[in-house]
Amino acid sequence: MKFKELIEKLGEAVKSSSETPELEITGVSAIADATPNTITYAESPKFIEQLKATQASAVILPANEQLQSIATDRGLAWIVVSQPRLVFAQAIAFFYKPFRPAAKIHPTAVIDPSAQVGELVSIGAYVVIESGAKVGNHVCIHPNVVVYPDVVIGDRTVLHANCTIHERAQIGADCVIHAGAVIGSEGFGFVPTREGWLKMEQSGYTVLEDGVEVGCNSNIDRPAVGETRIGRNTKIDNLVQIGHGVKVGEACAFAAHVGIAGGSTIGNRVILAGQVGVGNEAKMGDGSIASAKTGVHGDVKAGVTVSGYPAVEHRVFLRSSAIYNRLSEMYQAIKQIQKRLDEK
Amino acid sequence: MKFKELIEKLGEAVKSSSETPELEITGVSAIADATPNTITYAESPKFIEQLKATQASAVILPANEQLQSIATDRGLAWIVVSQPRLVFAQAIAFFYKPFRPAAKIHPTAVIDPSAQVGELVSIGAYVVIESGAKVGNHVCIHPNVVVYPDVVIGDRTVLHANCTIHERAQIGADCVIHAGAVIGSEGFGFVPTREGWLKMEQSGYTVLEDGVEVGCNSNIDRPAVGETRIGRNTKIDNLVQIGHGVKVGEACAFAAHVGIAGGSTIGNRVILAGQVGVGNEAKMGDGSIASAKTGVHGDVKAGVTVSGYPAVEHRVFLRSSAIYNRLSEMYQAIKQIQKRLDEK
Amino acid sequence: MKFKELIEKLGEAVKSSSETPELEITGVSAIADATPNTITYAESPKFIEQLKATQASAVILPANEQLQSIATDRGLAWIVVSQPRLVFAQAIAFFYKPFRPAAKIHPTAVIDPSAQVGELVSIGAYVVIESGAKVGNHVCIHPNVVVYPDVVIGDRTVLHANCTIHERAQIGADCVIHAGAVIGSEGFGFVPTREGWLKMEQSGYTVLEDGVEVGCNSNIDRPAVGETRIGRNTKIDNLVQIGHGVKVGEACAFAAHVGIAGGSTIGNRVILAGQVGVGNEAKMGDGSIASAKTGVHGDVKAGVTVSGYPAVEHRVFLRSSAIYNRLSEMYQAIKQIQKRLDEK
Mean pLDDT within C32-43: 94
Percent of chain A residues past pLDDT 90, beyond the cut = 86
Does the structure show a pLDDT above 90 at C101? Answer: yes
Q: How far is CA C274 from CA A183, B42, B262, C277, C314, in A?
A: 26, 39, 11, 9, 16
pLDDT band with cut points at 50, 70 and 90 for residue A253: very high
C339 touches chain A (CB under 8 A): no
Helix axes B3-10, B84-95, angle to 10 degrees: 120
Spacing of C-alpha A335 from chain mean position: 49
Instruction: Flag if B238 and A257 touch (Cβ within 8 Å).
Output: no
Last residue of a domain, one of B47, B64, B95: B95
Mean pLDDT within A85-113: 96
pLDDT band with cut points at 50, 70 and 90 for residue C197: very high
Scanning A292-311 for CB atoms below 8 A from B yields 293, 295, 308-310
Instruction: Flag if A324 and B328 touch (Cβ within 8 Å).
Output: no
Residue A299 has a pLDDT of 95
Helix axes C327-343, A327-343, angle to 10 degrees: 30
Fill in the amino acid letter for B233: N
- Closest partner residue to B126 among A126, A149, A275, by Cβ? A126
Mean pLDDT within C36-41: 95
Residue A93 has a pLDDT of 93
Residue C118 has a pLDDT of 98
CB C321 within 8 A of CB C337: no
Does the structure show a pLDDT above 80 at C207? Answer: yes
| pLDDT tens, residue by residue, C300-315 | 999 999 999 999 999 9
For residue A308, is it within any domain?
Answer: yes
Last residue of a domain, one of B35, B62, B95: B95
- Are C176 and C91 within one domain? no
Q: Per the omega criterion (within 30 degrees of 0), is the bond before A113 cis? A: no
Spacing of C-alpha C223 from chain mean position: 23
For residue B242, is it within any domain?
Answer: yes
- Are C151 and C20 within one domain? no
Instruction: Flag if B162 and C144 touch (Cβ within 8 Å).
Output: yes
CB B213 within 8 A of CB B194: no
Instruction: Flag if B245 and C30 touch (Cβ within 8 Å).
Output: yes
- Are A308 and A170 within one domain? yes
- Closest partner residue to C225 among A28, A162, A334, by Cβ? A28
Residue C5 has a pLDDT of 86
Residue B183 has a pLDDT of 98
CB B172 within 8 A of CB B153: no
Question: What's the ipTM?
Answer: 0.95
Mean pLDDT within A314-323: 93
Q: How many domains does chain A have?
A: 2
Nearest in space to A304 (alpha carbons), one of A294, A15, A52: A294
- Are A20 and A82 within one domain? yes
d(CA B217, CA A180) in angstroms, rounded, equals: 8
Q: Known catalytic residues of C?
A: 244
- Are C175 and C294 within one domain? yes
Q: How far is CA A263 from CA A243, A267, B48, B240, C57, in A?
A: 7, 13, 17, 20, 55
Q: Most distant CA pair in chain C: distance in Å?
A: 93
Left, alpha or beta for A144 (phi > 0: left; psi -120 to 50: alpha)? Answer: left
| pLDDT tens, residue by residue, B4-21 | 888 888 877 778 887 778
For residue A198, is it within any domain?
Answer: yes
Ordered alpha helix ranges (H), chain C: 3-10, 48-53, 65-73, 84-95, 314-324, 327-343
For residue B265, is it within any domain?
Answer: yes
Reported as type and span, the H/E element at residue C306 is: strand C305-307
Residue C182 has a pLDDT of 98
Scanning A27-66 for CB atoms below 8 A from C yields 28-30, 32-33, 40
- Are C51 and C25 within one domain? yes
d(CA C153, CA A321) in angstroms, rounded, equals: 46
Instruction: Flag if B257 and C257 touch (Cβ within 8 Å).
Output: yes
Percent of chain A residues past pLDDT 70, beyond the cut = 100
- Are A218 and A292 within one domain? yes
Mean pLDDT within A54-72: 95
- Are C305 and C163 within one domain? yes
| pLDDT tens, residue by residue, C280-296 | 889 999 999 999 999 99
Nearest in space to B218 (alpha carbons), one of B262, B249, B176, B168: B176
Percent of chain C residues past pLDDT 90, beyond the cut = 86
Which one of C146, C160, C307, C331 would you mutate to disrupt binding with A, by most A Cβ within 10 Å of its Cβ?
C146
Question: Sheet containing B227-230: which strands, arranged edge to edge?
Answer: B116-117, B134-135, B152-153, B170-171, B205-208, B227-230, B247-248, B265-266, B283-284, B299-300
- Are B183 and B310 within one domain? yes
| pLDDT tens, residue by residue, B46-105 | 999 999 999 999 999 999 999 999 999 999 999 999 999 999 999 999 999 999 999 999
Give the pairing of strands C190-193 and C196-199.
antiparallel
Does the structure show a pLDDT above 80 at C11? Answer: no
| pLDDT tens, residue by residue, C112-124 | 999 999 999 999 9
d(CA B284, CA C315) in angstroms, rounded, equals: 26
* Maximum mean pLDDT: which of A158-167, A186-195, C19-28: A158-167
Using CA coordinates, name the residue in chain A closest to C307. A325
Which one of A241, A293, A323, A325 would you mutate to disrupt binding with B, by most B Cβ within 10 Å of its Cβ?
A241
- Closest partner residue to C331 among B193, B293, B330, by Cβ? B330
Residue C40 has a pLDDT of 96
- Are C171 and C231 within one domain? yes
Reported as type and span, the H/E element at residue B334 is: helix B327-343
* A94-98, A138-142, B231-235, C219-223, range with the lowest pLDDT: A94-98
Q: How far is CA B77 from CA A34, A43, B68, B158, in A?
A: 71, 63, 10, 37
Which one of B142, B166, B201, B207 would you mutate to disrupt binding with C, by most C Cβ within 10 Å of its Cβ?
B201
pLDDT band with cut points at 50, 70 and 90 for residue A28: very high
Beta-bridge mates of residue C134 = C116, C152
Q: How far is CA C232 from CA A32, C176, C266, in A?
A: 21, 12, 13
- Which residue out of B166, B244, B297, B314 is catalytically annotated? B244
Residue A15 has a pLDDT of 81
d(CA C331, CA B326) in angstroms, rounded, equals: 9
Residue B154 has a pLDDT of 98
Question: DSSP of C121-186, one letter per residue?
Answer: -EE-TT-EE-TT-EE-TT-EE-TT-EE-TT-EE-TT-EE-TT-EE-TT-EE-TT-EE-TT-EEEEE
Please report, in angstroms and rounded to a whole number, the separation of the first and last CA atoms in chain A.
84
Query: What is the number of CB-based contacts under 8 A between chain A and chain C?
Result: 195
- Are A32 and A114 within one domain? no
| pLDDT tens, residue by residue, A228-244 | 999 999 999 999 999 99
The CATH number of whichever domain residue A176 belongs to comes to 2.160.10.10
Spacing of C-alpha A269 from chain mean position: 12
Scanning B308-327 for CB atoms below 8 A from C yields 308-310, 312, 316, 319-320, 322-324, 326-327
Residue A11 has a pLDDT of 73
Domain residues for the domain of B201 are: 110-317
Mean pLDDT within A211-225: 98
d(CA A139, CA B259) in angstroms, rounded, equals: 36
For residue C29, is it within any domain?
Answer: yes
Nearest in space to B30 (alpha carbons), one of B3, B10, B60, B7: B60
| pLDDT tens, residue by residue, B161-191 | 999 999 999 999 999 999 999 999 999 999 9
CB B305 within 8 A of CB B313: yes
Instruction: Flag if B320 and C327 touch (Cβ within 8 Å).
Output: yes
Q: Per the omega criterion (within 30 degrees of 0), is the bond before A84 cis? A: no
| pLDDT tens, residue by residue, C213-267 | 999 999 999 999 999 999 999 999 999 999 999 999 999 999 999 999 999 999 9
Helix axes A327-343, A314-324, angle to 10 degrees: 70
Q: Known catalytic residues of A?
A: 244
Does the structure show a pLDDT above 80 at C344? Answer: no
Nearest in space to A163 (alpha carbons), one of C26, C144, B321: C144
d(CA C49, CA A43) in angstroms, rounded, equals: 61
For residue B202, is it within any domain?
Answer: yes
Beta-bridge mates of residue B77 = B58
The CATH number of whichever domain residue C41 belongs to comes to 3.40.1390.10
Angle, vertex CA C182, rays to CA C176 and CA C183, nearest 5: 70
d(CA B239, CA B216) in angstroms, rounded, equals: 6
- Are A81 and A141 within one domain? no
d(CA A318, CA A321) in angstroms, rounded, equals: 5
Please report, in angstroms and rounded to a whole number, the separation of the first and last CA atoms in chain B.
84
- Closest partner residue to A259 among B96, B160, B275, by Cβ? B275
Residues on chain B touching C237 (C-beta within 8 angstroms): 188, 241
d(CA A184, CA C302) in angstroms, rounded, equals: 44
C226 touches chain A (CB under 8 A): yes
CB A238 within 8 A of CB A178: yes
Residue C57 has a pLDDT of 95
Last residue of a domain, one of B63, B95, B127: B95
Residue A226 has a pLDDT of 94
For residue B341, is it within any domain?
Answer: no
3-state SS assignment for residue A107: coil
C237 touches chain A (CB under 8 A): no
> Rg of chain A's alpha carbons, rounded to an integer?
26
Which subunits count as partners of chain B given 3+ CB pairs below 8 Å?
A: A, C
Residue of A6 and B232 predicted with greater confidence? B232
For residue C330, is it within any domain?
Answer: no
If you average pLDDT over every residue of chain C, what do you get?
A: 95
Using CA coordinates, name the residue in chain B closest to C97. B203
3-state secondary structure string across A207-250: EECCCCEECCCCEEEECCCCEEEECCCCEECCCCEECCCCEECC
| pLDDT tens, residue by residue, B280-322 | 889 999 999 999 999 999 999 999 999 999 999 999 999 999 8
Residue B341 has a pLDDT of 86
B126 touches chain A (CB under 8 A): yes
Angle, vertex CA B111, rays to CA B105 and CA B115, nearest 5: 110
